[in-house]
Amino acid sequence: MNAQSSVVDLLFVIAPHSLLLDIAGPAEAFRLANLWRSERGLPPPFRLRFASVAQTAMTSVGLNVSDLEPLPTQLEAPTWVVVVGQPSASAHKPTPAIHATARWLAQLLRGPLATPNSPHRLITICSGTVLAARAGLLDNRRCTTHHDLLGLLRSLAPRARVLENRVFLIDGPLASSAGVTAGIDLSLHLIASECGDSVAAGVAEEMVVYMRRTPLDPEFSPFLAHRRHTHAAVHRVQGAVSASPERDWDMTAMAAVGHVTERHLLRLFVHHAGVSPLQFLEAIRLERARQLLEHGSNVTGAAEAAGFRSGLHLRRAWNRKWGGSPRDALTTTAAPSAARRADAPC
């Protein structure tokens, strides 16, 4: 556990009509982190708190949450303020309760977020980033939100660097995520940073999370991106490339799968998928290589298995897409597979 603090207060800010999974998903991840440590005779790293402008708030599914504590006037202990999201319609039409919450956020966090090495952090889930923008807390920060709200976020925070197609982003004391399930990915990342990979691995296993995603992961899997169209020939090529990216693909081979000429395939891809066939191929190969690296492959092995001609070609493609090197993936939060727990939650 981080030596800077003994216990971190996780203060969930519950506005009316908050998305229930934005609350329950991250809260459960942090609860399980506490359980993982307590079963090993270690103190719990997190204290969960839930606050709102009112004592009771209705969630997005019509379920009321009650006994909420008042929004505190100051932070007594190291605190991670978790601002959960609301449905897109609510994010576009803020209520008086939302405006009151935004004013409270500005008063409480503007100073701490600007203080170097502050023990406090702002965590936004889904459209919670929009609420942080209304509070004026995103200036000069990298952040993200649900893809439906990127335009609204940019208009509310013109001085922020709003990035799209990211599961989550960390920028100093600000951590933001793209959507409801992305809040769980972000929580696992923060648990790993605070408590270590083994704790995050145990939590992910208990929650039956198939893969812990990282800040490099796009909001949409490359295997699903560029496929919101109905053209059969383009889908045939995309399916073949996704199934076997290691094949010696070129325009001739892909055109043969699509039963069209190379020139026509290029036109079809650009019109229907928004990328060229070769750009789609490189995105699929990069995703396959990244997954292999995070599961223990070396750079040369990952490059070969993903269809790159060499480790050098993988490094160049990686740098164009994400910056840095494929070796960066080896130091992300891919957790040891040996971390296991004996019991299961009720």
Positive or negative torsion for Cα 103, 104, 109, 110: positive
Which residue ranges form the domains of the chain, and what is each CATH number?
8-206 (3.40.50.880), 232-331 (1.10.10.60)
Would strands 168-171 and 174-177 be described as parallel, antiparallel, or unpaired?
antiparallel
pLDDT one-digit tens code per residue, 148-170: 999 999 999 999 999 987 889 99
Tokens 């298995």 locate to 305
Confidence of residue 239 (pLDDT cuts 50, 70, 90): confident
Q: Closest by alpha carbon to 61, among 83, 87, 82?
A: 87
Distance CA 207, CA 11 (A): 22
- Whether the pLDDT of residue 334 is over 70: the answer is no
Which residues is 64 bridged to in the sheet? 58
Average pLDDT over the chain, rounded to whole? 88
pLDDT one-digit tens code per residue, 186-229: 999 899 889 988 888 889 889 987 555 666 565 555 666 777 78
Q: How far is CA 90 from the centre of its chain?
A: 22
pLDDT one-digit tens code per residue, 41-67: 999 999 999 999 999 999 999 999 999
Which residues is 128 bridged to in the sheet? none
- H or E segment at 46? strand 46-52
- Whether the pLDDT of residue 346 is over 50: the answer is no
pLDDT one-digit tens code per residue, 34-46: 999 999 999 999 9
Strands (E), 63-162: 64-65, 69-70, 79-83, 121-124, 142-143, 161-162
Q: What's the confidence (pLDDT) of residue 335?
A: 35
pLDDT one-digit tens code per residue, 241-295: 988 999 999 999 999 999 999 999 999 999 999 999 999 999 999 988 988 887 7
3-class DSSP state for residue 57?
Answer: strand
Work out the angle between the directed axes of helices 299-306 and 311-322 (0-180°, nearest 10).
Answer: 90
Positive or negative torsion for Cα 195, 196, 197, 198: negative
Distance CA 204, CA 307 (A): 30
Single pTM value for the model: 0.68
Q: What's the confidence (pLDDT) of residue 290?
A: 85
Q: Closest by alpha carbon to 125, among 189, 197, 63?
A: 189
pLDDT one-digit tens code per residue, 285-330: 998 898 888 778 899 999 999 999 999 999 999 999 888 888 766 5
Q: How far is CA 339 from the centre of its chain?
A: 22
Token pair belonging to 272 = 């229907």
Distance CA 334, CA 313 (A): 24
Q: What is the mean pLDDT of residues 234-244?
A: 90
Distance CA 58, CA 323 (A): 43
Q: Which amino acid is at 217?
A: D
Q: What is the mean pLDDT of residues 91-112?
A: 95
Distance CA 312, CA 325 (A): 10
Q: How many residues does the chain have?
A: 346
DSSP character string of 205-241: HHTT-S----TTS-SS-TTTTT--S--HHHHHHHHHH
Q: Find the range with the poorest average confidence among 94-103, 142-151, 214-223, 231-240.
A: 214-223
Please state, as a whole number, how many other Cβ atoms lie within 10 Å of the Cβ of residue 300.
Answer: 14
Output the CA torsion 223→228→233→235 (10° steps). 20
Token pair belonging to 172 = 């100093």
Positive or negative torsion for Cα 195, 197, 202, 206: positive
